[in-house]
Structure 1
Amino acid sequence: MQTAAKNILLSLTLGLMVFTAVNLGAQSTFGIRGGLNASNISFDKLSERGERLGFHVGVFADVPVVPDFFSLQPELSYSTKGTAYDVLNERQSLNMSYVDFHLPVAFKLSTVDLQVGPFASYLISKPDFTVFDENRVVVDAFNAFDAGLTAGLSFNFNKVLLGIRYNQGFVNVSKDNAETLLGKGKNAVGQVSLGYRF
């Protein structure tokens, strides 16, 4: 699974390079965006799961493919994800930090962009999972690579944009040593962001 995720990430990167090179002469724009994350991981053996609040911040481009109809909007961002859960009557959080690469196609609907496309993520933190009732820690518990689908809307107000989107991972983030305790789990993240085009 890690090999498949690496291949997806490589393909996305190469695709971005090719399209960027082809569209250098087009009216591409660049910008920054950041905002709120509400994330969860679908561990089937972890009870009382809930959303963990975090944030994302990054840079993006808008590369026209068919002007005024659709464009590519590659984005590179830092994003905090994870999940919250209850154990021993206390709320705990599993905190995970990723570098995300999104490559959505954006369909231009007047001042609104409808976005859908793939993403790939790399885990840059090394979170452990603490088993409180057994007083032990599972180290190196999670796979580094994730990939999935992103979909959302951007509302454009001249150079300012307001975005909402949902990212669904397709890769099981649990390694074998964590899967026995947590089960299989996939990232799911809702995002609200504010951006600015230069």
Structure 2
Amino acid sequence: MKKTILSLVFLLATIVAAQAQGPRIGVRAGANLAGFEGNDNDAFKRRWGFHAGLTTSFGIIEDFLTIQPEVLYTQKGAQTDNEMYKLRTSFIEVPVLGRINAGPLYFELGPQVAVRIGEKAEWSNQSGSFVITDDDVNNLRRTNFGYAAGVGLTATPLGMSLGVRYTSDFGSAIDRGGNNPNLRNSVFMLTAGFALPTR
């Protein structure tokens, strides 16, 4: 049911975008502070990563309200407090955001889908470090549905923006069979964007 609702939201956003003004193409990149949230996240802390990708922007109400689909490569994961266990996951993430522009300020909110394209788990001990494949990695969900929300500043004449964004999953990032923990991907993003000039 949840996937059906989210699919309808993406379809509606696509239809609205097709009727809107634009598009305006841009690029986005920045830093991630990723971790897990949920009932079983006590053993984990956040780790750094990055994101980069392409953006589009369609004007709905001139420049005040826009629809902003994006395609991003983004790194997520977590590590234990003692840093002996580190997990790095890579995703292609597609948020479809509604954005309100109020002068130099902007606010954004919308659904997103993330498809995992890579993962690496590393265990370190006194003998050194080595890459492992364990049940936690094998049980990671390939596709996650979630949301993104953010706020930032934009310099409209230059096409540049700087903002912070938070993203999370609606459900667990790990298949809930057996004793698997209930953990959701949770990412704080510091992101810079540049809209390419239009003719």
TM-score w.r.t. the length of structure 2 is: 0.81
Kindly tell me: are residues 52 and 114 of structure 1, through their superposed partners in 2, closer, same or farther at Cα, counting changes over 3 Å? same
Identity of aligned residues (%): 22
Give the ranges of 4+ consecutive aligned residues of structure 1 lying more than 6 Å apart after TM superposition: none
Instruction: Write the distance in 2 (CA, Å) between the matches of 1:106 and 1:99.
Output: 21
Kindly tell me: are residues 90 and 13 of structure 1, through their superposed partners in 2, closer, same or farther at Cα, counting changes over 3 Å? closer
Letter in 1 for 2:85: Q
Shift of 1:188: 0.8
User: In the alignment, what sits opposite 2:161?
Assistant: 161
Q: Secondary structure at the match of 1:58?
A: strand
User: In the alignment, what sits opposite 1:144?
Assistant: 142
Which residues of 2 match residues 20-169 of structure 1 at below 5 A? Answer: 20-23=17-20, 26-42=21-37, 44-45=39-40, 47-86=42-81, 89-127=82-120, 137-138=134-135, 140-157=138-155, 158-169=158-169
Task: Specify every segment of 5 or more residues in structure 2 that has no aligned partner in the other structure, as ranges.
Answer: 126-131
Instruction: Write the distance in 2 (CA, Å) between the matches of 1:65 and 1:187.
Output: 31
TM-score w.r.t. the length of structure 1 is: 0.82
* Cα RMSD after superposing both structures: 2.6
How many residues are aligned here? 186
Task: Specify every segment of 5 or more residues in structure 1 that has no aligned partner in the other structure, as ranges.
Answer: none
Q: Secondary structure at the match of 1:104?
A: strand
Instruction: Write the distance in 2 (CA, Å) between the matches of 1:46 and 1:77.
Output: 26
Shift of 1:156: 1.0
Letter in 1 for 2:100: F
Q: What CA deviation, in whole Å up to 9, does each residue of 1:95-142 have, x standing for no partner?
A: 111111111111110022111111111111255697x9xx98225211
User: In the alignment, what sits opposite 2:173?
Assistant: 173
Q: What CA deviation, in whole Å up to 9, does each residue of 1:79-98 have, x standing for no partner?
A: 11011114xx5432111111
